[in-house]
Amino acid sequence: MAQVTIYTTPTCVYCKMAKAYFAENNIAYTERDVMVDMEAQHEMIEKTGQLGVPVIDINGTMIIGFDKPKIKSLLGL
């Protein structure tokens, strides 16, 4: 099974869409709220150079934003 981590904020519409997509497809994921978790925020920035969310890590491949085709491809859906 894929290791999925999503870096989010509570008000991010695309984060909510990504989490709903994972739920619809029974994909387990770890959520890291970068508004309150400074360690996660630094980790996300270090890995991607991005400040925006969502950032989705699927088995070490970083996806910036809710890129549904890329997510489907990486998860084999």
Those residues with Cβ within 8 angstroms of residue 8's Cβ, 6 or more apart along the chain or in another chain? 15, 19, 31, 32, 33, 34, 53, 54
Q: Which residues pair with 64 in a beta bridge?
A: 55
Task: Provide the pLDDT confidence category of residue 77 given band limits of 50, 70 and 90.
Answer: confident
Mean residue pLDDT of the chain comes to 94
Mean pLDDT within 10-15: 96
For residue 21, pLDDT beyond 90 = yes
pLDDT tens digits, 38-70:
999 999 999 999 889 999 999 999 999 999 999
Tell me yes or no: is domain 4-75 CATH 3.40.30.10: yes
**What are the structural domain ranges in the chain?**
4-75
Q: How much is the pTM?
A: 0.92
